[in-house]
A and B are shown apart, each in its own frame.
Chain A
Amino acid sequence: MLRYIIRRVLIMVPTLVVTSMLIFTLIQLPPGDYFETYVAEMQAQGERADLSRVAFLKKEYGFDKPPVERYLRWVGGFFVGDYGYSFEYQLPVSEVVGDRLYLTVLVSFATILFTWAVAFPIGIYSATHQYSWGDYGLTFLGLIGIAIPHFLLALVFMYFANVWFGLSIGGLMDPQYFNQPLSWAKVGSILHHLWIPVIIIGAGGTGSMIRAVRANLLDELQKQYVTTARAKGLSPFKTLMKYPFRMSLNFFISDIGSVLPSVVSGAELVAIVLSLQTTGPLLIRALQAQDMYLAGSFLMFLALLTVIGVLISDIALAFLDPRIRLQGASTK
């Protein structure tokens, strides 16, 4: 087992190296760079850009050097905690992201809890009452959650939350708390606003989770050990919880890999529509403005989290499910 874990960790290294190259290439590919856009924007507004400052920054960040050198500088910075400099915010990347990370994690965790709390009971009900009206209705509801584009759902929710409940439009708190130190009133305001993004972002995830729980549970329910458990007189609920439900959780563990990065990035589009102060809109904006270090470092962070998530789920699965073989070689 230990050998397996060590091997899995070692494999992560080349994966991350290739990912970093890919990300660097991707954010370099669009023509032009942040400074060109910036100077053009300033000129369009009839202002004069401070060309000497631009020249200084360009030199400081090696824009006159070949891409390979810049890549090495960028990656090298990671090891000493230097994630680059956001040109747009004129702050180091870690400071720009830092503030927003807490709120993002809050929203995402609330969303995940919401998804689980809704999806598991519904999925179990649907599987045990297959082809009943309840099953059809709930599955349909879940599908609707998948099918509606989330940004539109966000718009509609935002409007009705304002009309019916008098919530301020957009944002995660009432406007007077922006840039205020944390206080009980602020926490209350955040909690008050939290449910809208949680429901909207959770809608899609809940739908697919319901389907997954239902499908996995249905597979397990047909197996003979369920019949055995029933035959020996175990109560239906206990039978369900003790065997098939636990077995059907495997998919759920293997899903952790994708959950982890989404906790940090949040749902970008919904966050833009609701103008949440999370990291999603920051990333999108950075990509659009070609604020390359901000975008690149953040993408790299997400990739790292995914790789760690996959690692965790692989190890957890190997521990939990004895049927999983660690060496996947041909038997012939």
Chain B
Amino acid sequence: MSGDHVNAPESAPELLPLSPTSLPPPGAPLAHFVSQAPFDAHEAEALSPEQEKFYLASQLRLMWVKFKRHRLALVSGVFLAVMYASIVICEFLAPYNYQTRDTEFIRAPPQAIHLFHEGKFVGPFVYGYAYRLNMDNLKREYTPDKQKVYPIRFLCRGDGYYFWGLVPGDLHLACPAKAGVLFLLGTDRLGRDMLSRLIYGARISLTIGLIGVSISFLLGIAIGGLAGYYGGVFDLLTQRAIEIVQSLPHIPIWLALAAIMPASWSPILVYFGITVILGLMDWTGLARAVRSKLLSLREEDYVLAAQLMGAGTVRVVGRHLIPGFLSHLIASATITIPTMILGETALSFLGLGLRPPITSWGVILNEAQNINVVALYPWLMLPVVPVVLVILAFNFFGDGLRDAADPYN
């Protein structure tokens, strides 16, 4: 900017229609000047390309520009995208099938990845275990055995699985050496590989939040939308209903609802049941937000215009009102996904959530709930790391989305 000011006096004479030498003598009239450029009445409104990019950008584009400025939210978004992408191919990513048991390695500690064996480069490999039963406390003790070198194989054939429960396959991204083992995060009390269970668990834990939020989202928009638009008795009833649902403490109600599900249900049905339960208790906040937004927006002139043109309730609410703050709603819904994920771990902790063989992070953590684990087998608590990371990421991502979706900011 300051450069322009410096240049201004020098370039100013060039803008004059006549060269400085042809200035008329003092007192004589100034030569008449007529610009030959075509007249453009909209010149003042014309936008430079940069301005055009900003002023004519769509709502989505503006949000994207704003969102990109929030670095942490962007990183979180990418992290979540990677996590969700991984659940599509978790059979391929996990080195073992999540149900494969190796009874020789019960609660074996995590193996470290090495590159050099006795000064020689071997590529990524792990040392095998030396096993000893401690006769004093009957604890199985596994120590790295420097004699056993198990190079990790990549893109290899390993445990068989059914891809999404349908297509049989046995291709893995990484497998243990032939006749070797690969327990990067250790094994649990049945000798199952923790890393593989974590990768499979992500599929359940991450989708449970999404499905639950979708349910509460639909309920919230429908109920809150109608209450806010109609007002009156319907609004009063809805308000009381929301108050009632909110006055019930969450965990006991989850418990009571989870106890209703018949024991004969298949684990998949239980999974859907749990998502519905989580969603049923969560819609109230969203319904309130929708209602209060609608209460103020329905007074706007464009609503009156739509009504005068004969639009019905559903059209006014669905076509004119909701889109106005949908992005804001989505952002707030994103922030409630962590509650769902934590709710599932809480239910599983009480033994009322998902049941094996379905594996979620909550189910895995359920096995880490006694003090022995903290003292003796701390790696069984590792599922808490992805839980914390995903919840943090959702929080940052949701914050970024909300800031980006706020048109007044």
Contact = CB atoms under 8 A, between A and B. Distances in A.
Given A151-B369, A287-B255, A303 B384 contact: no
B260 A29 contact: yes
Nearest to B262: A31
A149 B342 contact: yes
Contacts of A303: 244, 247-248
B246 interface: yes
B346 A30 contact: no
B388 A18 contact: no
A4 to B, nearest CB: 15
B256 A261 contact: no
B256 A29 contact: yes
Given A14-B240, A27-B256, A159-B375, A151 B247 contact: no
Interface string A56-80: 0000000000000000000000000
Place the interface of chain A in its size category.
35 or more
Interface string A115-145: 0000000000000000000000000000110
Interface in B244-294: 244, 246-249, 251-253, 255-257, 259-260, 262
Contacts of A295: 252, 256
B373 A299 contact: no
A258 B231 CA distance: 25
Contacts of B370: 155
Given A19-B247, A149-B365, A152-B368, A330 B299 contact: yes
Contact of B252 (A22, A287, A328): A287
A11 B369 contact: no
Contact of A18 (B244, B257, B365): B244
A302 B260 contact: no
Contacts of A312: none
A14 B298 CA distance: 29
B231 A284 contact: no
B295 A328 contact: yes
B384 A148 contact: yes
B247 A26 contact: no
B311 interface: no
B53 to A, nearest CB: 26
Contacts of B187: none
A284 B255 contact: yes
A265 B248 CA distance: 11
A143 B392 contact: yes
Nearest to A298: B252
A278 to B, nearest CB: 14
Contacts of B244: 15, 18-19, 22, 303
Contacts of A306: 246-247
Contact of A146 (B246, B345, B374, B391): B391
Contacts of B345: 149
B252 A30 contact: no
Nearest to A140: B392
Nearest to B373: A155
Contacts of A261: 247, 249
B374 A302 contact: no
A147 B392 contact: yes
A158 interface: yes
Nearest to A207: B395
A19 B247 CA distance: 8
B102 interface: no
Contacts of A310: 243, 247
B82 interface: no
Given A149-B345, A299-B252, A144 B392 contact: yes
Contacts of B388: 144, 147-148
A269 interface: yes
B346 A269 contact: yes
A149 B350 CA distance: 13
A306 B373 CA distance: 38
Contacts of B201: none
A302 B349 contact: no
B181 interface: no
Nearest to B260: A29
Interface string B69-97: 00000000000000000000000000000
A331 to B, nearest CB: 7
A183 to B, nearest CB: 29
Interface in A295-332: 295, 299, 302-303, 306-307, 310, 328-332
B199 interface: no
A281 B395 CA distance: 30
Given A11-B240, A26-B257, A268 B251 contact: yes
Nearest to B388: A147
B369 A273 contact: yes
A11 B96 CA distance: 59
B173 interface: no
A149 B231 contact: no
A149 B368 CA distance: 12
A55 interface: no
Given A144-B392, A147-B338, A152-B381, A30 B256 contact: yes
A284 B250 CA distance: 12
Contacts of B346: 149, 151, 269
B387 interface: yes
Contacts of A199: none
A192 to B, nearest CB: 19
A155 B369 CA distance: 7
Interface string B367-402: 011110111000001001001100110010000000
Interface in A269-290: 269, 272-273, 283-284, 287-288
A169 B247 contact: no
B371 A169 contact: yes
Nearest to A147: B391
B370 to A, nearest CB: 8
What 6 pairs between A and B have smallest CB-CB spacing? Answer: A306-B247, A147-B391, A30-B259, A159-B374, A147-B388, A303-B247
24 contacts: A14-B240, A29-B260, A30-B256, A30-B260, A148-B384, A151-B349, A152-B384, A155-B368, A156-B381, A158-B374, A159-B374, A261-B247, A287-B252, A287-B256, A288-B259, A295-B252, A302-B248, A302-B249, A303-B244, A307-B247, A310-B243, A310-B247, A328-B295, A330-B295
Interface of B: 231, 240, 243-244, 246-249, 251-253, 255-257, 259-260, 262, 295, 298-299, 338, 342, 345-346, 349-350, 365, 368-371, 373-375, 381, 384, 387-388, 391-392, 395
Interface of A: 11, 14-15, 18-19, 22-23, 26-27, 29-31, 143-144, 146-149, 151-152, 155-156, 158-159, 169, 258, 261-262, 265, 268-269, 272-273, 283-284, 287-288, 295, 299, 302-303, 306-307, 310, 328-332
